[in-house]
């Protein structure tokens, strides 16, 4: 894959991240439709009963209901071949139900890493590692770790 294609892949996913930070589900849904293959393979810790593009849309609907001020900051981005890797810090305030937990009003900060594979200019496969343990501890659903 050419350096030019790697740059286009990075630019496509930066645009997607920009849409995520609007907090607007319609903008996020449009961004998913624009950059994600309809049959994307989604490997991530998401309790969503869907597949393809719809799984990603459902994840964001759940996250926006739970954390309406959610913000994803990209700390590192690496592109090589058909893959782009993002290391993110996510922040938000728990103002809606999340994983069975009623709103707590607590702020969360957690990390995630995603590897995204492109095919024909669209996201074809996503692998995600999200620090759900940190989320749940900060929301009071699990005990904090003693230091």
Mean pLDDT estimate for the chain: 90
- Taking every pair of Cα atoms in the chain, the longest distance, rounded to a whole number of angstroms, is 48
Residue 99's pLDDT is 87
Task: List pLDDT tens digits, range 78-92.
Answer: 999 999 999 999 999
What separation in angstroms does the CA of 29 have from each of 64, 90, 104, 108? 12, 19, 27, 24
Indicate if the pLDDT at residue 2 is higher than 90: no
How confident is the model over 14-35, as a mean pLDDT? 93
* Other residues' Cβ atoms within 10 Å of the Cβ of residue 56: 24
pTM for the whole thing? 0.89
Q: Token pair of 127, please?
A: 């692998």
Identify the pLDDT of residue 114.
94
Domains of the chain are 3-138 (3.10.450.50)
Average pLDDT value for residue range 59-73? 95
Q: Is the pLDDT of residue 145 over 80?
A: no
d(CA 122, CA 22): 21
Average pLDDT on 17-44 reads 92
Percent over 70 (pLDDT), the chain: 95
Q: What is the pLDDT of residue 115?
A: 96
User: Looking at the predicted structure, is the pLDDT value of residue 147 above 70?
Assistant: no
């Amino acid at each position: 894959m050419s350096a030019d294609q790697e740059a286009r892949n990075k630019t496509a996913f930066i645009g997607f991240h920009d849409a995520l930070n609007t907090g607007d589900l319609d903008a996020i849904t449009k961004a998913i439709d624009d950059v994600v293959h309809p049959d994307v393979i989604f490997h991530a810790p998401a309790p969503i009963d869907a597949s393809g593009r719809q799984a990603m849309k459902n994840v964001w609907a759940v996250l926006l209901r739970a954390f309406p001020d959610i913000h994803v900051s990209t700390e590192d981005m690496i592109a090589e071949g058909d893959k782009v890797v993002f290391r993110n810090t996510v922040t938000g305030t728990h103002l809606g139900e999340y994983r069975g937990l009623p709103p707590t009003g607590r702020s969360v900060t957690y990390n995630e890493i995603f590897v995204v594979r492109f095919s024909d200019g669209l996201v074809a496969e996503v692998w995600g590692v999200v620090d759900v343990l940190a989320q749940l501890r900060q929301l009071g659903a699990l005990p904090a770790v003693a230091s």
